[in-house]
């Protein structure tokens, strides 16, 4: 059936080509029609606005296509991925879906043979030159490209309330020692030093990946995910101890809150700092909150813990032509510059129109160009989903029990189970 449809497509192309040839020099291209189902977890604030901006670009170019916006709410795609798995295994793939570039895309979908390669599209659109090498590396597998990255997010950002910091004459901390000094000063004032929301289970793992990067440095941190650095390393113990110390400074109601619920502390001036990815920037904007500052997380200046959202072409997509048109919009400068200022991320392309972006994003573009780029496990770039889930669970237990030795053992075991460590 699939083969039949493919040949049908080829035949249609040939026939179209003949008609075009017969009609003379400037034939109007056949206007695409039908539907296009886009699956994502972008439902809130700036994310949804960014997605709608992309839809607007698409609708302007292809007014005949009806876009079906299939979204499933939930941070980091926690719920959406479950729905997606069911649909993919059930043979009902959405036309195109949001997936974190890196191991989440490759290990989950590409290796299993569920995706179509996009190499020819990359060549024809010139994307192999428009995206930097680091980005091309994470979307490729066995010499082919597999998805179109729309953005780059930074995981290791320390957000702080400017008002709280100036009132108490504090500077954003650069090292862990600084961090604990600042935290003590804030605690003495009755302000929550570090706000965290852990309800969805992944947020603590997110903070810990930044603590790992800040404690181990870029190279050793990268090694954790490739098997070059052992999880039994004393530096990992140190990272766990740092994290444990940080947990003494967090809000008591963290397990009742999601990350954005916790962000409310900053907006209300009741919290000092928050470690969360730079989608927080878009969320602050959607709340009309401007009194925030940012810095790299402690110990991680010069390190950019990155993740990227991308879209691909699943095998068996019902509206293949419309998806290709969609991917072209995503990879275009126009599409990326429409999406990213609203989403609060920087474009994956090297040639954005910098004037469209706010101060945070401009600074992120500068860092992206000069920092050491390392991948995020919680957001699918560094590790397979199985490994990331085990890592997330180990850290979730750690937040409650704070047992350094047991957690380090669990993290090592997760690496072994993922067949990366021995």
Partner 1 sequence: MRGSTWDRVTSVLLIAPSAIAILVFVYGFIGWTGWVSLARWDGMIQDLTLVGLRNYQKLFDTERFQIDLHNTVTFTLLFLASSLVIGLLLAVLLDQRIRSEGLFRSVFLFPMALSFIVTGVVWRWLLNPGSRELGSVGVNLLFDKVGLGLLKSGWYTDPSIGIKAVAIAATWQMSGYVMAMYLAGMRGIPEDLREAARVDGASELDIYRHIILPLLQPITLSAVIILGHISLKIFDLVSAMTGPGLGFCTDVPAYFMFDTTFRGNHFSQGAAIAIILLLSVAALIIPYLVYTARTEVQR
Pairing of strands 144-145, 140-141: antiparallel
Q: Is 175 in the site for partner 1 (CB under 8 A)?
A: no
**Residue 112 touching partner 1 (CB under 8 A):** yes
Does 420 engage in binding with partner 1 (CB under 8 A)? Answer: no
| Paired sense of beta strands 151-154 and 346-347, if any | antiparallel
Question: Is residue 271 at the binding interface for partner 1, with CB under 8 A as the rule?
Answer: yes
Cα-Cα-Cα-Cα dihedral sign, residues 286, 290, 292, 293? positive
Under rule CB under 8 A, residue 10 binds partner 1:
no
Element (H, E) at 56: helix 45-61
As a dihedral over the C-alpha atoms of residue 39, residue 324, residue 352, residue 357, rounded to 10 degrees, the angle is -30
With respect to partner 1, which residue has the nearer C-beta, 240 or 329?
240
Residue 286 Cβ, how far from partner 1 at the closest point, in Å?
Answer: 20
The answer to whether residue 177 forms part of the interface with partner 1 (CB under 8 A) is no
Q: How far apart are CB 397 and partner 1 at their closest, in Å?
A: 5
Residues 175, 131: Cα–Cα separation, whole Å: 32
| Contact pick of 100, 153, 206, 254 for partner 1 (by CB under 8 A) | 254
3-state secondary structure of 189: coil
Q: What is the spatial distance between Cα 77 and Cα 361, in angstroms, rounded to a whole number? A: 23
Q: Which of 53, 150, 191, 361 binds partner 1 (CB under 8 A)?
A: 191
In the list 55, 109, 249, 357, the residue contacting partner 1 (rule: CB under 8 A) is 109
Secondary structure (3-state) at 231: coil
Helices H, strands E: what count in the chain? Answer: 19, 15
Tell which one of 252, 288, 290, 355 touches partner 1 (CB under 8 A): 252
Interaction of residue 295 with partner 1, rule CB under 8 A: no
Among 111, 218, 404, 420, binds partner 1 (CB under 8 A): 111
Q: Report the chain's C-alpha Rg in angstroms.
A: 23
Longest pairwise C-alpha distance within the chain: 81
**Shortest spacing between CB 153 and partner 1, in angstroms:** 20
Binding region for partner 1 (CB under 8 A): 78, 81-82, 85-86, 88-89, 107-109, 111-114, 190-192, 198-201, 251-256, 264-265, 268, 270-271, 384-386, 388-390, 393, 396-397, 399-401, 410
């Amino acid at each position: 059936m699939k083969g039949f449809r493919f040949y049908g497509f080829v035949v249609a192309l040939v026939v179209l080509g003949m008609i075009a040839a017969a009609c003379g020099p400037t034939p109007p291209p056949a206007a695409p029609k039908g539907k296009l189902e886009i699956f994502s977890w972008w439902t809130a604030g700036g994310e949804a606005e960014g997605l709608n901006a992309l839809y607007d670009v698409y609708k302007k170019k292809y007014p005949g296509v009806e876009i079906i916006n299939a979204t499933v709410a939930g941070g980091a795609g926690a719920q959406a991925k479950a729905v997606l798995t069911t649909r993919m295994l059930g043979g009902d793939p959405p036309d195109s879906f949001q997936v974190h570039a890196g191991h989440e895309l490759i290990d989950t979908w590409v290796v299993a043979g569920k995706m179509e390669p996009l190499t020819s599209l990359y060549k024809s659109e010139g994307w192999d030159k428009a995206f930097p090498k680091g980005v091309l590396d994470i979307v490729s597998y066995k010499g082919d490209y597999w998805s179109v990255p729309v953005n780059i997010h930074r995981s290791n950002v320390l957000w702080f309330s400017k008002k709280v910091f100036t009132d108490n004459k504090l500077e954003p901390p650069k090292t862990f020692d600084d961090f604990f000094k600042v935290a003590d000063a804030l605690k003495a004032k009755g302000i929550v030093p570090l706000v965290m929301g852990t309800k969805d289970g992944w947020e603590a793992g997110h903070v810990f990946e930044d603590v790992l990067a800040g404690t181990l440095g870029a190279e050793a941190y990268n090694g954790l995910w490739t098997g070059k650095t052992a999880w039994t390393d004393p530096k990992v113990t140190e990272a766990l101890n740092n994290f444990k110390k940080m947990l003494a400074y967090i809000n008591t109601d963290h397990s009742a809150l999601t990350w954005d619920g916790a962000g409310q502390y900053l907006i209300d001036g009741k919290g000092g700092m928050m470690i969360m990815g730079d989608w927080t920037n878009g969320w602050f904007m959607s709340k009309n909150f401007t009194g925030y500052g940012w810095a790299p997380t402690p110990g991680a200046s010069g390190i950019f813990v990155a993740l990227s959202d991308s879209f691909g072409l699943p095998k068996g997509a019902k509206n293949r032509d419309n998806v290709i048109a969609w991917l072209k919009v995503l990879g275009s400068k126009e599409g990326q510059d429409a999406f990213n200022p609203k989403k609060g991320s920087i474009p994956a392309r090297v040639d954005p129109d910098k004037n469209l972006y706010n101060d945070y994003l401009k600074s992120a573009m500068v860092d992206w160009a000069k920092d050491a780029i390392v991948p995020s496990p919680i957001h699918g770039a560094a590790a397979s989903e199985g490994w990331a889930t085990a890592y997330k669970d180990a850290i979730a237990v750690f937040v409650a029990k704070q047992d350094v030795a047991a957690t380090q053992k669990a993290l090592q075991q997760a690496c072994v189970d993922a067949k990366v460590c021995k």
